[in-house]
Amino acid sequence: MNSELQLQVEHWLAQDPDPRTQAELRSLLEQQDEQALAARFAGRLEFGTAGLRGIVAAGPMGMNRLVIRQTSAGLGAYLLEHVSDATERGVIIGYDGRHDSRIFAHDTASVLTAMGIKVRLTAKVAPTPLVAFGVKHFNAAAGIVVTASHNPPQYNGYKVYWGNGAQIITPHDAGIAAKIELAASQSIPFLAHEAGINQGRLQLLEDEFYQRYRRAVMQAEVLQPHTAPQRVSIAYTAMHGVGADMAEAVLSDAGFTQVYSVAAQREPDGDFPTVNFPNPEEKGAMDLVIAEAKKHGAMLACANDPDADRFAVAVRQDDGEYQMLTGDQVGVLLGHYLLSHARSEQRLVGTTIVSSSLLAKIAKRFGGECYTTLTGFKWLMNVGMAKSQPQAQFLFAYEEALGYTVGNMVWDKDGLSALVAFAQFTAELVAKGQTIWDRLEQIYREHGFHLNTQVSIALTPGTPDIGAYLREFPPAAIGDQTIVSTEDFKTLERRFADGRREPIELSASDVLIYRLANGAQVIVRPSGTEPKIKCYYEVVEPMNAYDSLQSCQVRAMAAMARFIDAHQASLPK
């Protein structure tokens, strides 16, 4: 075996506090499995704007107790250097129901308290939105959630909030990463749990903290009910995650008495035994909650993902079957509902470049403003805070990947408050004798039927650099439709067909957006995690007086198929 690799492994073993991962590495050493060891020591699990996320495994490329301790020491050092009162403001830590989450959270607390930083640690599992809420509530210097959200069971993660309550962005991500590299070469401080409590550095957040979030939802101005909710029936699943207790509580507080939880998925279970993939977007993931909805004839089949920051819903149709709403449909429905009730000075909404353009048209209709950011709630929230003014206060933001934030109680996606808002929206429609499908049709008749879809192109070693090709040979049309503008986020320039140019006021990213004369658009960007190019398509089909929702959808789907075929044919092979 490579002697340098063996020395790396032995050095790691001398620091690793976990007997399980020690045994994993020793077994590989005994088997002389150089390939497996080299993979575990090929670098370091990268810390970025999403914090850490990876497979639980031994070595610096995996999620494990030593990586967590080193990461916490790096974060602590960065906070002490950049936040003058970090020790007093402290850090709030929460964790989800995955197998290693609790010990990872406790290790994080022990490292930070040893560095003199006050820590508030949830006494039990907590939905991610509660930690984001806690950062603001306690005016903490930072927040940490140990969660892998909707990733497969073998994953875990370490999500970091800055003191403003939003996920970290540049330059904090790079600054923390540099401190982690330094911490990994030093001895890691550690204060036992009991000692931290005795010294007043560690506070356990008991039920009162959870009730504070619950009361905040109940009292939020944008979540006040506008009609009696008793007629709305809801099937709900936590998808083996940590959302059930709070979801049921906030729905009850809002007056929803017909709520039926899927018992088999209600309690946290890191194995996620009833789903192949614990993500509501995945095929089959909503099967049990839809079955529960059919059992009770419920209007809605609702789901949170395992850490309850995302929200998904299927809606009963006239034939008794249930249709999943897309993330964009939920976003525009919630946006329309909230804007229709908002104060004139609270009509700032936001979405991302890969989400539907429809929210911007709805906001304009209500005299509001819609901003657009790069993908990710870190951008939606940080930009939303920066844009919020006394006469243009933040109201709502969403991204198509089932993320929604309602009001400014939490500066991150919150599947619990989104659940309440959607239930209240449904109650208002029921009181008017209308359905969700009626409201969608009303919106589409006014603004056009907006259909969105995504296509991924797998890249092989021989595939040309598609972005470079498109920049060298900029297209003037896609199919028979003229391109009226091209937005290049690498150069941060918007170019129009008539020759005009204007700057794009967003962060640089490898993204191209083409807007067509018929209102369609396509966004082309490389995946950040896989060898593929992602293309996000939108077509807009006008609804005429003779159209039904179904007939217009059929026409839009045909237009989408033609658009995708024309665009894919134009790309280099």
Query: Residue 98 and residue 156: Cα distance in Å, rounded?
Result: 7
Those residues whose C-beta lies under 8 Å from the C-beta of residue 545, and which sit 6 or more positions away, are none
Query: Residue 191 and residue 73: Cα distance in Å, rounded?
Result: 12
Query: Residue 479 and residue 516: Cα distance in Å, rounded?
Result: 10
Radius of gyration of the chain from Cα atoms? 25
User: What is the DSSP code string of 11-36?
Assistant: HHHHH---HHHHHHHHHHHHTT-HHH
Question: Which burial class, exposed, middle or buried, applies to 76 when counting CB atoms under 10 A from its CB (0-12, 13-18, 19+)?
Answer: buried
**Nearest alpha-carbon partner for 393 in 337, 342, 341, 347:** 347
Cβ-contact 351, 370 below 8 angstroms: yes
Q: Left, alpha or beta for 555 (phi > 0: left; psi -120 to 50: alpha)? A: alpha
For 417, the enclosing helix (H) or strand (E) is helix 415-431
For 373, the enclosing helix (H) or strand (E) is strand 369-373
Phi then psi dihedrals of residue 77, to 5 deg: -65, -40
Tokens 């006040």 identify what position?
A: 224
Cβ-contact 12, 25 below 8 angstroms: yes
With H, G, I as helix, E, B as strand and everything else as coil, classify residue 265: helix
With H, G, I as helix, E, B as strand and everything else as coil, classify residue 289: helix
User: What is the DSSP code string of 433-453?
Assistant: T--HHHHHHHHHHHH-EEEEE
Name the catalytic one among 72, 101, 110, 149.
149
Cβ-contact 359, 337 below 8 angstroms: no
Task: Supply the DSSP symbol for 189.
Answer: P
For 513, the enclosing helix (H) or strand (E) is strand 512-516
Query: Residue 50 and residue 213: Cα distance in Å, rounded?
Result: 23
Query: Residue 239 and residue 317: Cα distance in Å, rounded?
Result: 23
Cβ-contact 458, 491 below 8 angstroms: no
The structure tokens listed for 122 are 């949830």
Question: How many Cα atoms are found within 13 Å in the side-chain-facing hemisphere of 63?
Answer: 25
How many other CB atoms are found less than 10 A from the CB of residue 428?
19
The structure tokens listed for 130 are 């509660």
Query: Has 185 been annotated as catalytic?
Result: no
The structure tokens listed for 314 are 């299927």
Query: Active-site positions?
Result: 149
